[in-house]
Structure 1
Amino acid sequence: MEQKLVILFNNPTSHLCNLVLLLLVMLLSTPSSSSSFDLSLNFYAASCPTAEMMVKNTVRSASSFDPTLPGKLLRLLFHDCFVQGCDASVLIQGNGTERSDPANASLGGYSVIDSAKRVLEIFCPGVVSCADILALAARDAVQLTGGPAVEIPTGRRDGMVSEVSNVRPNIVDTSFTLDEMINIFSSKGLSVDDLVILSGAHTIGSAHCSAFSDRFKADSTGNLSLIDATLDGQYAAQLTKQCPVGASASVTVNNDPDTPQLFDNQYYKDLLAHKGLFQSDSVLANDARTRTKVVDLANDQGIFFQSWAQSFLKLVSIEVKTGDEGQIRQSCSVTNSG
């Protein structure tokens, strides 16, 4: 289009046409000012060159004392990005915030983000966003548990709004059907393949018994019996021992019964063996629209890692705030005053 405008400019029919075309050429040849607001690799190279290393060291140190933290950080990121985008709005405390919704009551890893933020505020005050810290921490959690090293762009800004009413319409429940999950993922710009790949996050982490209790029922004697025929019988028996009737609400079960603290493709092997912990896991192996991808990822960990890097990049780019949007919070749990 620019070439055509130049040709017309060389053959002007009037001074007015000449001026208009010149302005158009200048507009097309000048980078948009908004381009400087895009996410970019090494965004903090000049303003805080050790930012990513500080986050990684914080995650590594905390995880060495609590090996459940990587799974918690990864889940925390999902719950943030799926609600109003990756803007750290899930970290804000207070009545009526996302964090106050019962669906987010079991989230963890907040202390790791807060620790990283405190360190960064000492060395680079007012520079690194909580949204970037969360994205980097989840990325590092995957690598620290044996997963792929993924390079992600930074430059996210922190959201200033966190409302409980936005949570339920935007997050996936463990009892969802495949259609319900596809609808949620599609609304975030994620494909069916992304759904299968990102569900691989369940290869680490744990869940409370209530998250899969709908797959069982208590009989007249108070014992649990399996009502979901898609679940392996022996695995179901193992779950009922770990989560008997009357079990404490604090009891948790590993998402992956075989390699719970290792980020690998065992999750997909479990699905094919009918050992998906959640109903939303099991449907991936039982529906023709997703089973082929599950088989591919179960058969080749390299394919899973490569696919994960691509889908994770899409996840951490959902509805990000950049440029003059949002703010850089001084504390991740509250917005800046004024």
Structure 2
Amino acid sequence: MDYAYRLLMLLSALTLCLLPFSSCSAPSVGFYAGSCPAAEIIVKNTVRSASDLDPTIPGKLLRLLFHDCFVEGCDASILLQGNGTERSDPGNTSVDGFAVIDSAKRLLEIFCPETVSCADILALAARDAVEYTGGPSVQIPTGRRDGRISAAANVRPNIIDTSFTLDEMAKLFFAKGLSMDDLVTLSGGHTIGKSHCSSFNDRFKLDPDGNVTVIDSSLDQQYAVQLTKMCHAGARDDSITVNNDPGTPFQFDNQYYKILLEHKGLFQSDSALVKDNRTMNKVVEFANSQDGFFESWAVSFLKLSIVGVKTGDEGEIRQSCPMPNR
């Protein structure tokens, strides 16, 4: 069953699950109303507490969800530890936010043991991270099951690389049942968070003295010079990070689209959105209307959060997010 058809069937099931007195195994809004009424509040409070201490947490949680859903579906497979797991792949070495999910899970195991999946915690945490930073509040269904399969070999073929062209990104999005509009909208998640210099240092070159010799023509020249100064020595020190959005890095807003139009998108994959008529109009639309971006985000984030979900007898409800049940 391909992702597009699965998405259609799942959205139909979600509609039925919203009906009074319905009974179904598909994810539904209020899935834990009877079994763990405080589940969503516990996750939200955990995200808020962690973000109060570290403002980079929301961006990390949002990225963590993307990297989970695009590989085995939204099943928390990225949380599993061990040799050869998704988490161990070099493409995920800079992914973070695991401790927040683990904290929420520990609390939920106290109040509602063996009830709330790690996959649901991750989806809710990413949702709450956006809201915490000023983004829209999105109602998403719960009832996901945790996957048992986590293979490093599945990571690279399924995640977006920052050097991707629009066609390369679109191919992956389409495979997950997501549209070109979803691609533009969900790229707006780059309005929060930080990135390591190694993820964009291919956009400029330096001579041995540290002087800029070549700059990607799609990148604002002055901005590129600023980036080289922040990253030092051609961005070889991967401990250094740069704000994705140089203007409002900890605020979820439409600033991302404005900087794209100024040719200050940090990644090649960002710049690709303003070099193609298939996406340019949507970038302009969102740059001019934060409300329009937020409305689109609510729809696209919902679609992302149910990509490849496991339900019913699939998977399990882990007792600890980094380890499968015995």
Query: Would you call these one fold, judging by a TM-score over 0.5?
Result: yes
Q: Does the aligned pair in 1 maintain the 2:85–2:151 contact within 8 Å? A: yes
Residues 226-245 of structure 1 mapped to structure 2, 5 A cutoff: 226-245=214-233
* SS of residue matched to 2:71: coil
Residues 30-109 of structure 1 mapped to structure 2, 5 A cutoff: 36-109=24-97
Determine which of 211, 215, 227 is the counterpart of 1:223.
211
**Cα deviation per residue 1:165-188 (whole Å; 9 max; x = unaligned)?**
000000000000000000000000
**Cα deviation per residue 1:41-78 (whole Å; 9 max; x = unaligned)?**
00000000000000000000000000000000000000
Alpha-carbon distance in 2 for matches of 1:66, 1:227 = 33
User: How has the CA–CA distance of structure 1 residues 206 and 225 changed in structure 2, closer, same or farther, with 3 Å as cutoff?
Assistant: farther
Q: Does the aligned pair in 2 maintain the 1:177–1:280 contact within 8 Å? A: yes
**Cα deviation per residue 1:67-96 (whole Å; 9 max; x = unaligned)?**
000000000000000001000000000000
- Could you tell me which amino acid in structure 2 is paired with residue 301 of structure 1? Q
Tell me what 1:286 maps to.
275
Alpha-carbon distance in 2 for matches of 1:249, 1:181 = 25
Higher Rg of the two aligned structures: 1
User: How has the CA–CA distance of structure 1 residues 226 and 254 changed in structure 2, closer, same or farther, with 3 Å as cutoff?
Assistant: farther
Q: Provide the aligned length of Structure 1 versus Structure 2.
A: 304
Alpha-carbon distance in 1 for matches of 2:71, 2:112 = 28
Q: Does the aligned pair in 1 maintain the 2:215–2:224 contact within 8 Å? A: no
Tell me what 1:266 maps to.
255
Tell me what 1:192 maps to.
180
What fraction of aligned residue pairs are identical, expressed as a percent?
70
1:220, distance to aligned residue in structure 2 (A): 4.0
Identify which range, 215-224 or 41-50, moves more after superposition: 215-224
Tell me what 1:161 maps to.
149
Tell me what 2:14 maps to.
none
Alpha-carbon distance in 2 for matches of 1:65, 1:326 = 34
Q: Does the aligned pair in 1 maintain the 2:215–2:221 contact within 8 Å? A: no
* SS of residue matched to 1:253: strand
Residues 94-173 of structure 1 mapped to structure 2, 5 A cutoff: 94-173=82-161
Q: Does the aligned pair in 2 maintain the 1:224–1:245 contact within 8 Å? A: no
Tell me what 1:331 maps to.
320
TM-score (norm 2): 0.92
Alpha-carbon distance in 1 for matches of 2:279, 2:149 = 35
Q: Does the aligned pair in 2 maintain the 1:206–1:255 contact within 8 Å? A: yes
* SS of residue matched to 2:242: strand
TM-score (norm 1): 0.88
* SS of residue matched to 2:195: strand
Alpha-carbon distance in 1 for matches of 2:320, 2:308 = 22
* SS of residue matched to 1:267: helix
Tell me what 1:22 maps to.
none
1:194, distance to aligned residue in structure 2 (A): 0.3
Indicate yes or no: 2:243 matched with 1:254.
yes
Q: Does the aligned pair in 1 maintain the 2:35–2:112 contact within 8 Å? A: yes
* SS of residue matched to 2:134: coil
1:219, distance to aligned residue in structure 2 (A): 1.7
List 4+ stretches of structure 1 deviating above 3 A. none
Tell me what 2:17 maps to.
none
1:240, distance to aligned residue in structure 2 (A): 0.8
Alpha-carbon distance in 1 for matches of 2:192, 2:213 = 26
Alpha-carbon distance in 1 for matches of 2:24, 2:157 = 32
Alpha-carbon distance in 1 for matches of 2:305, 2:247 = 28
- Could you tell me which amino acid in structure 1 is paired with residue 195 of structure 2? A
Instruction: Point out where structure 2 has 5 or more consecutive residues left out of the alignment.
Output: 1-22
Instruction: Point out where structure 1 has 5 or more consecutive residues left out of the alignment.
Output: 1-34
Alpha-carbon distance in 1 for matches of 2:53, 2:217 = 39
Alpha-carbon distance in 1 for matches of 2:103, 2:205 = 42
RMSD: 1.1
Tell me what 1:308 maps to.
297
**Cα deviation per residue 1:17-53 (whole Å; 9 max; x = unaligned)?**
xxxxxxxxxxxxxxxxxx7111100000000000000
Q: Does the aligned pair in 1 maintain the 2:74–2:309 contact within 8 Å? A: yes
